[in-house]
């Protein structure tokens, strides 16, 4: 397969992913959420009476789907969806520095990974929206009262959240710089909090995944609990289809992200807007010549008075 040939063409194959690989897999998940929100917005505009709830609860709907997807990939490949897409896996390091190279995560690391992959981004987005809402209320003058406890709480949140956001983004940048200069094995605070680090999939890992999928398919046909088994099979087929189809759709998602970015509004308007019509001619052809602004077109004499009051309109 192509992934096996990639190992043969490289000069040196290392277990440590490159900086660009880990950043690319993070960018993939960042691009998926706006794409789904835009899809929900289009559906809600087409039928607001029945599908309006899709846009109102787009964050919750995406979080539910993301939790199912991430749980499946963490359970079967020891990696998140985007990490598996780029050929990465999560490796647990114990207290003695030894690595667990099996394609399975302990239950503790599985729950921590789910919390950092699904819950933390959802909380972050909700906090950002709450901050912008309180900021607009403050600009409009609704947070001027100092006796209301709720108003004081909102003012405190407006003061504290930028500091927390700056500290978090600064720590994320510090982790990336440390990973870039090989001073740390974790490129993100989320990965560090999960108690794992990222590593490249080897040829043995890929063969192990293929064998595991074949074994699960055979066990599904002889299982006793048909509802549970078919639910697992449907989830596995859906996750595999998303993973395979994403290789074609990832370019389209990146294009949508660029197309609807605020800094590209002028380019989008220039492409989609109609061409600017030419300015009207200042003179109109007549049988006897051209009309002039100071000559009456009826009697061809110089104008002596205005035909409209100068203050009208």
Q: For residue range 136-156, what is the model confidence (pLDDT) as tens digits? A: 988 888 888 777 888 889 999
pLDDT attached to residue 63: 92
- The arithmetic mean of pLDDT across residues 106-111, rounded, is 90
* Helix runs in 140-202, H state only: 149-180, 189-193
In this structure, what token pair is assigned to residue 153?
Answer: 């709480």
In this structure, what token pair is assigned to residue 236?
Answer: 């596995």
- The arithmetic mean of pLDDT across residues 114-138, rounded, is 92
In this structure, what token pair is assigned to residue 117?
Answer: 């992959």
Listed residue (124, 36, 111, 23) closest to 67, CA to CA: 111
Give the rounded percent of residues in the chain with a pLDDT score beyond 90: 19
Listed residue (104, 53, 47, 45) closest to 79, CA to CA: 104
Confidence of residue 122 (pLDDT cuts 50, 70, 90): very high
């Amino acid at each position: 397969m192509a992934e096996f040939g990639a190992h043969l063409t490289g000069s040196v194959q290392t277990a440590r992913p490159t900086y660009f690989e880990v950043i690319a897999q993070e960018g993939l998940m960042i691009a998926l959420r706006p794409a789904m929100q835009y899809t929900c917005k289009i559906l809600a505009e087409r039928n607001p009476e029945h599908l309006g709830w899709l846009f109102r609860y787009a964050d919750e709907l995406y979080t539910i789907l993301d939790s199912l997807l991430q749980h499946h990939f963490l359970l079967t490949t020891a990696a998140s969806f985007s990490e598996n897409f780029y050929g990465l896996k999560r490796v647990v390091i114990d207290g003695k520095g030894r690595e667990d190279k099996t394609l399975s995560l302990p239950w503790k690391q599985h729950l921590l990974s789910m919390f950092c992959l699904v819950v933390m981004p959802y909380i972050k987005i909700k906090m950002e929206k709450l901050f912008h809402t309180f900021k607009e209320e403050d600009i409009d003058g609704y947070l001027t009262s100092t006796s209301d406890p709720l108003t004081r709480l909102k003012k405190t949140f407006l003061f504290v959240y930028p500091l927390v956001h700056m500290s978090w983004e600064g720590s994320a940048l510090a982790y990336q710089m440390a990973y870039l200069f090989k001073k740390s094995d974790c490129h993100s605070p989320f990965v560090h909090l999960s108690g794992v680090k990222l590593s490249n999939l080897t040829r043995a890992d890929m063969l192990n995944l293929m064998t595991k999928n074949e074994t699960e398919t055979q066990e599904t046909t002889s299982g006793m609990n048909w509802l549970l088994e078919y639910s697992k099979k449907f989830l596995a087929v859906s996750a595999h289809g998303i993973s395979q189809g994403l290789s074609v759709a990832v370019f389209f998602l990146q294009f949508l992200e660029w197309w609807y970015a605020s800094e590209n509004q002028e380019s989008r308007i220039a492409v989609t807007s109609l061409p600017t019509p030419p300015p009207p001619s200042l003179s109109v052809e007549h049988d006897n010549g051209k009309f002039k602004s100071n000559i009456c077109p009826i009697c061809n004499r110089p104008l002596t008075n205005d035909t409209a009051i100068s203050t009208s309109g």
